[in-house]
Amino acid sequence: MVYFDDAFARQSYNSLPDKRIDQSSGQVQLVDNAPADYALGTLFVYGWGMAVRAQLFNASTNDKAALLAASCYSGAFTSSINSDNVPTGFQLSPPDMDEATAAVIKLVPLDQAYGARGSTALDRIQAFTTGYFGGLAAC
């Protein structure tokens, strides 16, 4: 099972930096904490990736390798639902990829989530893109 604290889930959902444009003046204002549904979704996918690692492969879930494997699985899952061939008709929108990237960089390494475990943002993004473009077989 994957559990999240309600307050952290709300924080994750409202975690994306965004911009507001005043149409009358053309002024752009940067804002924090814009809604990011797939940022929260990405955190859940990481949790399921950790469960897969533990239950199917009897592997550790407490080290850098575990976090990078979960990153890779998350990329593979994201790719699988980001196609025209999804039976449920569910597809990601272009901002969802921004939300996933922001979550991998900013939320995953937080202590309330999974912690960095010795990984860098680049490590996690590279593992995510390996899974996205290579599928589970690449993980």
Q: What is the DSSP string of 36-78?
A: -HHHHHHHHHHHHHHHHHHHHH---SSSHHHHHHHHHHHHHHH
Per-residue pLDDT of the chain (139 residues; tens, 9 = 90+): 778 899 999 999 999 888 889 899 999 988 888 889 999 999 999 999 999 999 999 999 999 999 999 999 999 999 988 876 766 667 788 889 999 999 999 999 999 999 999 999 999 999 999 999 999 999 9
Q: What pLDDT sits at residue 90? A: 73
